[in-house]
Structure 1
Amino acid sequence: MHIGRHRAVLGALAVGVLALSACGTDRNVTNADLNPELRELEVDCGTTSVVAEGSSAQKNAMDVFARDFGVKCPGSHLNYTSSGSGKGVAAFTAGQVDFAGSDEPLTGDEVEAARQRCEGNPAWNIPMVFGPLAVTYNVPGVRDLTLTPEVIAEIYQGRITRWNDPAIERLNPESSLPALDIVPFYRSDESGTSANFQKYLSVATDGLWEGEGKTFRPGRGVGQGRSGTDGVTSSVEQTEGGITYAAWAFPKNVGLDIAAIDSGSGPVELTGESAGRAIESARVSGQGHDLRLDLDSLYGNDAPGVYPIVLATYEIVCSDGYDAPTARSVKAALRVAAHAGAENLEQAGHVPLPPEFRKKVLESVEAIRE
């Protein structure tokens, strides 16, 4: 256990992210400080700053994008307000921001509202920010642990209650698992993290998990709810036998152990590379330059070396209908964002776009009409 470290390390994480954000206006940061691809990227910067709003899950990545955009386009700014996906989409459809960040593509009435905002043209859903979700645990003496989606589901359903359960022992023959009660923690607040984790469990277990939506639905009387990512991760850190799901940045930077996932082709550790393989193979269900994803193809990916628990979030943009200066600046900001480097993104808990997937994203960005 690491009792007492959590607040200090989370503080350090926050400082690191703030430092990235601050770099956007730091005169000492130059083009030479960027990753090689971004250094060589030619950008038609436009003449206006870009205003966006939405998903809190994108905030840390947006800090990276804003810094890079400020370096590549001196005098221009990417100003992102982290207010939640719903508020971001509402601000976009009201014409208050240039694009919205959202944990989900546009649905229902949002599609028509966005069309009206875009002067009668369709809005496109462009997936640009990907954040892996980690299954993190606190089992004394066990630093390497493999779980399957079925075992995770049964833990949260209350069918597996001790760490030395035969189902877990079979997956970890070289580990000495203690006869310790499993203490599952889950988000008590409505959360896009919970929605995507439940979607993953449902797809990966062929329906064994029946919960869905932003409210997590464990078995009756199973586990303990906590508010926010800080709430669940700090509870795991302080509880022997604890387990939870959380955005990668928190357990990674706090130093909590993270389980490998066996989807049927062997254990896969969570890394930028293994999460990137899931993104690379995700299918697009949208038409043309609308890149909404088929989440079944993401969460149901059982290929070797793939870590499939990845939260995909979107930038909602007008395909046409911007004035020319705004269109040029939006395209510049998104072009820079697509080339963000692995080091800074992984520090912020995200992974860079794999090369082939990035090509699809850039094709959509370039197709925005000026």
Structure 2
Amino acid sequence: MTLLENDPREIGGYLLEGRLGAGGMGVVYRARSASGRQVAVKVIRPELAADAEFRARFRLEVTAARKVSGAFTAPVLDADADAPAPWLVTLFIPGPSLSERVAGQGPLTPPEVLRLAAGLAEALREIHRVGLVHRDLKPGNVLLAEDGPRVIDFGIARAAGETQLTSTGVAVGTPPFMAPEQFRSGTATAATDVFALGSVLAFAATGRGPFGADSSHAVGFRVVYEEPDLTGLAAELRPLIVACLAKDPEQRPTVERLLGLSTGGERERTVQFRTGPVAPTPVTPTPTAPAVPLASVAPPAPAAAPPATPPVVPAAPAAPTGPVPPTVPAYMAAPATHPSLADAAARPRRRKGVLIGSVLSAVVVATGGTLGFLAWRDHGPDEPGSRGSKPGPSSSVTATATATTAASACGPDGKQAVGADGLQVALVKQWQADYAKECPGAEITFNGPASGTVMDQYATFKSDGVALDSPMTADQRAVVGRHCPTGYASQIPVTVLPIAVVYNTPGLQGLEFDAPTLAKIFTGKITKWNDPAIKALNSIWNLPDSPIDVRIPSNESASTAIFTQYLAKAAPADFPYQPGRAWPDKSRPASGTNASDLPAYVAGDQWSMSFVPLPDAGTLQKAKVKFGGSQAVELTPHSASMMAAGGSVQGTGTNLTVTIDYARPASGSYPIVDVGYIGFCDHGGADRALAGTAVLTNFLAHGLSAPGQAVGENLMYGPLPEALTRRVLDSLAPLRLKPGN
């Protein structure tokens, strides 16, 4: 990638030749030393360098990287931690990252994986010998050089047993490649790197991480409690990788043992990695290591978990692009930060905004590390940036409804299960955790994605209520109704599901689009960023003549259903296709990516564009969307809620659905949304208490209460509009029993 107009041409005596990549906290350049040696120069943004703690982290990164031999890493050649914009020079390693290699050529062969295992084990042995723990071994931090793999990025490495510089209660790493102990307590040892090595090898051998890489509400849960998915793994690799992925650190092999397991013959020592057409430059951005707020992980069993301590995270300078913090999984949230049901009746709802989203990214050649430290800030209603400072028709549940909810929050004791397998997993999981604290006698258990699809949960009675990303059709309700004693399946709206149009355009912030332009982009009719239609909507920017790397979900997804529904209604002339969970084949762009991987892909690929659920979007750049001559609207939970407020409600009682009018969005509303539901069986009559309907409906009323909706807003769901919330609560009232009844 060539240098941009405002890029320097020389840093510390090194002549810059081009960009290797850029993140929100810095840039990595390809450069030449005075003697002609090709190097990589990592430069921190001056505004971040003004932060004393940030600069201290950078010094630690330099110190850590200098300790390790260059035989297995990209050696540090020079650095200046005291410059106005601190910089670090490493030897340039020609060769793709492991993530690039797998993306371009597919999984490695078993001999290649064994060669990779041996090389990485040697690298970890050298790292551990000098008393360091890497803590963020992942495919983006592994370069495939001709003479073997190299491990890069020591930005978060630290001495074993050393107190970390980041705040108490914060774990550092990339969730799909973190070890169980990192999620539980934030601790890291040499065994932690071995677990990450096992995940990296599984990725290399199968093309996917063993614990998934989806919206990450469930990734940490799988890492801690579930077995890895090693489907398709060659038999000769299984013992090695399974040993590395032991949940107990004491059960994992040492790196010395790994060298013995992975170097069984001369063939593995001399095999060459196939890199095919994957070019070593320019290097595309790949995952970095964000900070993950920690709390005690609630196990799947109903046994009580120790209370979590709310993480205290210092504010850090925000950046519009670059590394993206992972979505905060529900089991990592700090329950003490959520308002209680009793508090809801005593004070107005306080709206909090928490910066959350999907995992990832920075640049392969050491862009991570210091560049990967993010911070979250919780804004009060009167603080700058608080979403609470923007009142609107959906800003709160009425005091009457809230007081009623609080007065009869718990209802009778009993057991019920609620399931979620889609866009609402994090929300339903958090509601379940909060309700368990408020009402310990009402045992609501949570069935997550591993429990099967929504319809499977109904059919097998694994769940008494399930989250639905779209309302059931009449036929579906009839099928589900056969499993209900009364033959009747209920469904009620509980939240608003916003879909963000995300993009990666360095230096171009707040881009605006309308429905016709989005339709043309996502059907391949507009292919360049400087297309006249885009320029007309973004006249203040000098848009580049770069191709738009459009990515759509290759699998069925709820986000596709919402986005195609919006395009079909708001731009029918440009998107004359039937909306649905799968992208219409006739309009399919060249590039498809699994829906769960889209946030990471966009974060790691400049000039890319896609659409993802807002809870997964993190700090990816999000498009503003306009309708006709109206002003473009920024996506927030509030603006999404305003769109739902303009929808029409059909049905009666506890069978309510909402139809969004995408062709006529209300002023100030963000239009690419839909409503999420909970479906359940109404057992009817005097059997309600015995059958558990009252237990479940009191739980649902909790989700619809002010604190329940505030939890959703913190997780980047849109709160249900006030009038609709009242109507749903009224429909649930006959099904709820007061305590003592």
Quote how far apart the aligned CAs of 1:14 are.
Answer: 4.7
Written as runs of structure 1 = structure 2, the 5 A alignment for 1:211-230 is 211-217=578-584, 222-229=589-596
The question of whether the paired residues in 2 share the 8 Å contact of 1:50 and 1:329 is answered with yes
Name the Cα RMSD after superposition.
2.9
Q: 1:85 and 1:222, CA in 2 relative to 1: closer, same or farther beyond 3 A?
A: farther
Q: Say whether 1:19 aligns with 2:382.
A: no
Q: 1:99 and 1:73, CA in 2 relative to 1: closer, same or farther beyond 3 A?
A: same
Q: Say whether 1:317 aligns with 2:680.
A: yes
CA deviations 1:280-337 (Å, max 9, x no partner) are 1211133444112224x2x333221011211322111223346414122111101100
Quote how far apart the aligned CAs of 1:97 are.
Answer: 2.3
Q: Say whether 1:8 aligns with 2:290.
A: yes
CA deviations 1:106-160 (Å, max 9, x no partner) are 2244322333333234222211132210001111221111001110110112111
The question of whether the paired residues in 1 share the 8 Å contact of 2:410 and 2:438 is answered with no
* SS of residue in 1 equivalent to 2:583: coil
Quote how far apart the aligned CAs of 1:96 are.
Answer: 3.8
Quote how far apart the aligned CAs of 1:243 are.
Answer: 0.5
Q: Aligned equivalents of 1:63 and 1:232: distance in 2? A: 23
Q: Aligned equivalents of 2:563 and 2:329: distance in 1? A: 27
Q: Aligned equivalents of 2:553 and 2:511: distance in 1? A: 22
Q: 1:146 and 1:33, CA in 2 relative to 1: closer, same or farther beyond 3 A?
A: farther
Q: Say whether 1:257 aligns with 2:624.
A: no
Task: Name the structure 1 match of 2:665.
Answer: 302
Q: What amino acid sits opposite 1:258 in the alignment?
A: K
Identity among equivalent positions (%) equals 24
Quote how far apart the aligned CAs of 1:100 are.
Answer: 1.9
* SS of residue in 2 equivalent to 1:68: helix
The question of whether the paired residues in 2 share the 8 Å contact of 1:148 and 1:263 is answered with yes
The question of whether the paired residues in 2 share the 8 Å contact of 1:156 and 1:223 is answered with no
Quote how far apart the aligned CAs of 1:207 are.
Answer: 5.0
Deviates more, 1:171-180 or 1:81-90: 81-90
1:184 to 541, 550, 555: 550
Q: Say whether 1:274 aligns with 2:556.
A: no
Deviates more, 1:173-182 or 1:74-83: 74-83
Q: Aligned equivalents of 2:615 and 2:471: distance in 1? A: 24
Gaps (5+ residues) in structure 1? none
Q: Aligned equivalents of 1:345 and 1:17: distance in 2? A: 10
Q: What amino acid sits opposite 2:609 in the alignment?
A: I
Q: Aligned equivalents of 1:333 and 1:96: distance in 2? A: 17
Task: Name the structure 2 match of 1:362.
Answer: 729
Q: 1:151 and 1:15, CA in 2 relative to 1: closer, same or farther beyond 3 A?
A: closer
Q: Aligned equivalents of 1:360 and 1:282: distance in 2? A: 14
Quote how far apart the aligned CAs of 1:165 are.
Answer: 1.0
Quote how far apart the aligned CAs of 1:52 are.
Answer: 1.5
Q: Aligned equivalents of 1:155 and 1:240: distance in 2? A: 16
Quote how far apart the aligned CAs of 1:221 are.
Answer: 6.7
Q: 1:32 and 1:78, CA in 2 relative to 1: closer, same or farther beyond 3 A?
A: closer
* SS of residue in 2 equivalent to 1:208: coil
Q: 1:315 and 1:184, CA in 2 relative to 1: closer, same or farther beyond 3 A?
A: same
CA deviations 1:60-91 (Å, max 9, x no partner) are 11122113312321343332223399832343
Quote how far apart the aligned CAs of 1:19 are.
Answer: 1.8
CA deviations 1:11-43 (Å, max 9, x no partner) are 9635553223x74xx8x9884896546896122
Q: What amino acid sits opposite 1:306 in the alignment?
A: S
* SS of residue in 2 equivalent to 1:49: strand
Q: Say whether 1:240 aligns with 2:601.
A: no
* SS of residue in 2 equivalent to 1:285: strand
Q: Aligned equivalents of 1:241 and 1:262: distance in 2? A: 21
Deviates more, 1:200-209 or 1:210-219: 210-219
The question of whether the paired residues in 2 share the 8 Å contact of 1:54 and 1:86 is answered with no
Q: Aligned equivalents of 2:514 and 2:428: distance in 1? A: 32
Q: 1:63 and 1:33, CA in 2 relative to 1: closer, same or farther beyond 3 A?
A: farther
Task: Name the structure 2 match of 1:344.
Answer: 711
Written as runs of structure 1 = structure 2, the 5 A alignment for 1:1-370 is 1-2=22-23, 3-5=285-287, 8=290, 13-20=326-333, 23=335, 31=340, 36=347, 41-42=406-407, 43-83=409-449, 87-209=453-575, 210-217=577-584, 222-229=589-596, 231-251=597-617, 253=618, 255-264=619-628, 265-295=630-660, 297=661, 299-321=662-684, 323-325=688-690, 326-339=692-705, 340-341=707-708, 343-368=710-735
Quote how far apart the aligned CAs of 1:367 are.
Answer: 3.5
Q: Aligned equivalents of 1:16 and 1:95: distance in 2? A: 26
The question of whether the paired residues in 2 share the 8 Å contact of 1:278 and 1:301 is answered with no
Q: 1:336 and 1:266, CA in 2 relative to 1: closer, same or farther beyond 3 A?
A: same
Q: What amino acid sits opposite 2:626 in the alignment?
A: D
* SS of residue in 2 equivalent to 1:178: coil
* SS of residue in 2 equivalent to 1:77: strand
Q: Aligned equivalents of 1:85 and 1:147: distance in 2? A: 39
The question of whether the paired residues in 2 share the 8 Å contact of 1:289 and 1:363 is answered with no
Give the TM-score taking structure 2 as reference length: 0.45
Q: Aligned equivalents of 2:341 and 2:420: distance in 1? A: 31
Q: What amino acid sits opposite 1:256 in the alignment?
A: L
Quote how far apart the aligned CAs of 1:250 are.
Answer: 2.1
The question of whether the paired residues in 2 share the 8 Å contact of 1:103 and 1:313 is answered with yes
Q: Aligned equivalents of 1:73 and 1:8: distance in 2? A: 35
Q: 1:223 and 1:50, CA in 2 relative to 1: closer, same or farther beyond 3 A?
A: same
Q: 1:329 and 1:10, CA in 2 relative to 1: closer, same or farther beyond 3 A?
A: same
The question of whether the paired residues in 2 share the 8 Å contact of 1:53 and 1:88 is answered with yes
Quote how far apart the aligned CAs of 1:356 are.
Answer: 1.3
* SS of residue in 2 equivalent to 1:286: strand
Query: Matched residue pairs, number?
Result: 361
Q: What amino acid sits opposite 1:246 in the alignment?
A: V
Q: 1:63 and 1:332, CA in 2 relative to 1: closer, same or farther beyond 3 A?
A: same
Quote how far apart the aligned CAs of 1:369 are.
Answer: 7.2
Deviates more, 1:109-118 or 1:35-44: 35-44
Q: Which has the higher helix share?
A: 1
Q: What amino acid sits opposite 1:149 in the alignment?
A: A
* SS of residue in 2 equivalent to 1:268: coil
Quote how far apart the aligned CAs of 1:203 are.
Answer: 0.8
Q: Aligned equivalents of 1:170 and 1:226: distance in 2? A: 29
* SS of residue in 2 equivalent to 1:180: coil
Give the TM-score taking structure 1 as reference length: 0.87
Q: What amino acid sits opposite 1:190 in the alignment?
A: E
Task: Work out which of the two has the higher radius of gyration on C-alpha atoms and give 1 or 2.
Answer: 2
Task: Name the structure 1 match of 2:120.
Answer: none
Q: 1:10 and 1:148, CA in 2 relative to 1: closer, same or farther beyond 3 A?
A: farther
The question of whether the paired residues in 2 share the 8 Å contact of 1:85 and 1:101 is answered with no
The question of whether the paired residues in 2 share the 8 Å contact of 1:274 and 1:306 is answered with yes
